[in-house]
Structure 1
């Protein structure tokens, strides 16, 4: 038997072995049985193409790389928290976050709602101008336009008077204003600046995952801004001539929670700059026992914090007794959240979800229309808000729980991005945010299940196809 004949006999066996090994990997590592079955079938039916496709698209390198790369250790033990503040009764809602983070609650002595860039940017500039010691700023998008340069000039003025200023911008988010990126403008103003996972050709690093979607501004360790707004003219929503205007909500906080937020910034800073902290982080605030607002930081990301926000929302929905109100720009929830929402509805909880009627990402809107069919069929109240695009992220449960932060309810936010959430326990805050939510809900149009069913076949096929790719939107 010559070499050619040997290979004729051996090659099918080798391909079959590769297919079986790949199928075994999928069986051991895939959490979704349908995904596991699909990859196993593909690897057995196509023993050459199947393993190649699985290697390219089926292996979750995002979590592996994140756990390997993001190793920024910063001691937080000195940041004391209180599990059950005196005179409060937030359980079982507060138990969920406590179990996920192994941390209690931090006092929040003041909270202000800041709607759109018209309210947010002047407040940020005013705080920057009053800073005396340090300014820490992190954003996903920091546009090189009027609003962005206004903040850059305020930061530069702070540097000139001796204030420590550090800025983190996501490497992909900065590209959103290409070719006029903000990094050069910041460096030219002598502002200490770094990119989170920058995109580079040499060495090659073009990964669109592992992005930091967090938004933070910390002033002197005593004042913090966080929420969903980026920095740029698009958030100037009152300008009718603004072609890409966006509605959004941000928050200004004071109290012990500022220490937690500053700790989160420094973790990202040490990671981005590949440096290590000289000493343990201690914070600048005290945990006032008589605070009227209590809060907890929830970090989420594809590293060890993965699924924190998904599990948090799942837990508090399951613990809800009267209402769950959700406002989000992208709604592609996991199956367990869909099940929790339907279960809550069946036990009498008022479930309402506000989505943008006009979305800046068409494919995300198409996929959402396919996703909400099951919820509408169960009788949930889902509404579309009128244009312009609404980027706000709010999550209210019962009369005392509010979740704010940077995360959307979609796979990119809950599985691929580094996100940040803040739990707020306060009937007064819940009422204030609830009043804003109710105003938006009144202006929104309720979606009818029959309207989705009556869409044309090409439209339904388009939406279903977009839904198949929802993990990558």
Structure 2
């Protein structure tokens, strides 16, 4: 009997090491970023068996066979629709400034999406301002309302939006909602789901979470966009989920979430509408392109352009990450970033350090209290390296700062749904706007200054005195960065 146990033990050890060797080879052959590959290898070796399981669940971009095939078939017709916008008068590369022109060239080459002029933007920076504006536009909707959100959390203002959508549907407006299964789990368990469907609203649960599906698609691949399009004439995007901060995550003890949204009119609304059409077809198989926007501009005056930048499985890889890096490298005087989750790649860390060492003032604003302990510790692992290069890091104390914004030279900005972490930049369905409008950028820069005024800047000398325990926790959770 002892010999049998001994033999089974040897077989078990052999099979395990064969499995680890196979997964190691798979990690290497996938040619991920070196830092990501090394992190995965550390997890696989340090946490036996569990590390291998985690890799198969979270380590590879697995959209699921059906969605992956559909996304591949969709790309050509959607690219054709986007490229048709290059014939619009609103696409004026000859009048673009250098930074937006380079981003236009990148997005045009990779996905056919041009930067379009003739838009108007307004920044909404308080929950009451955001919700009241959305409610007014819903109440005036005539033909269609489409929305995509990661989180829909019932309560407060959110219920008012739900009621307004039901009223719109009852008066004949076509209402469609795409809500992420994981982020909006509470909504799908609530009475609101049934009430909306009974009113004729089409509600689609995106990337359903279930024990069965973990074998066919990546568990943490999420629909993270926040989009509202009304009558193909008005759009909203930004950092805020469909949640009332006064009713959301109260038990987390991090304070209310702090967000902004942008209200947009003009031809870029139709581009955002086409992004919704992409997401809708990917989930339902139903294709319905928005109309080509009105291209004529009222005069020959310089209308400053907006570049819509989407990303996600089926779209060109790392497009938003490339746009972010391109924007950072064009900073001459100042760069300010606000993000709730700061776990940058090695390439992005290098870009931030290089920018600071060129003499550009670089400020990063993150929340002092975070709803993710993993992110909190992993973020702090980058502080010393960045501060040694002259980067200023501010910890916001007025709640959980959730605004995702980048302002370059107070003249150009990025704003949208993208966090500075691996999942947002490399994995999830996201959207951001590159805005070449000094007036709008100035308002966003002022909002960033409000955040900085409510923050404490990390002192490099004091930070260097932190305990060995804190240093250990930072490095430990840094190893988990591929999961963040």
TM-score, normalized by length of structure 2? 0.84
Distance 2:172 2:42 in 1: 63
Deviation, 1:382, is: 1.1
Distance 1:317 1:130, change over 3 A: same
Contact 2:115-2:305 at 8 Å conserved across structures: yes
1:195 pairs with 2:205: yes
Match of 1:79 in 2: 85
Distance 1:432 1:59, change over 3 A: closer
Contact 1:148-1:233 at 8 Å conserved across structures: yes
Distance 1:471 1:253 in 2: 34
Match of 2:147 in 1: 137
Contact 2:395-2:457 at 8 Å conserved across structures: yes
1:302 pairs with 2:313: yes
SS of the residue corresponding to residue 62 of structure 1 reads: coil
Counterpart mapping for 1:280-291 below 5 A: 281-286=290-295, 288=297, 290=301
Distance 1:85 1:464, change over 3 A: same
Segments of 5+ residues of structure 2 without an aligned counterpart are: none
- Corresponding residue pairs, total: 460
SS of the residue corresponding to residue 466 of structure 1 reads: helix
Distance 1:98 1:150 in 2: 42
Contact 1:117-1:235 at 8 Å conserved across structures: no
TM-score, normalized by length of structure 1? 0.86
Distance 1:26 1:363, change over 3 A: closer
Segments of 5+ residues of structure 1 without an aligned counterpart are: none
Counterpart mapping for 1:63-212 below 5 A: 67-68=68-69, 70-71=71-72, 72-73=74-75, 74=78, 75-80=81-86, 85=92, 88-102=95-109, 103-176=113-186, 179-180=189-190, 182-200=192-210, 207-212=218-223
Distance 1:206 1:270, change over 3 A: closer
Distance 1:319 1:416 in 2: 25
Match of 2:27 in 1: 26
Deviation, 1:20, is: 5.8
Contact 1:79-1:259 at 8 Å conserved across structures: no
- Report Cα offsets for 1:4-56 as digits up to 9, x if no partner: 9xx99x9799988776655443332233446656878999x99x969956963
Deviation, 1:406, is: 0.6
SS of the residue corresponding to residue 275 of structure 1 reads: coil
Distance 1:235 1:99 in 2: 40
Match of 1:271 in 2: 282
Distance 1:273 1:462, change over 3 A: same
Distance 1:126 1:39 in 2: 48
- Runs (4 or more) in structure 1 with deviation over 6 Å come to 10-19, 37-43, 48-51, 202-206
Deviation, 1:113, is: 0.7
RMSD of Structure 2 on Structure 1 (CA):
3.4
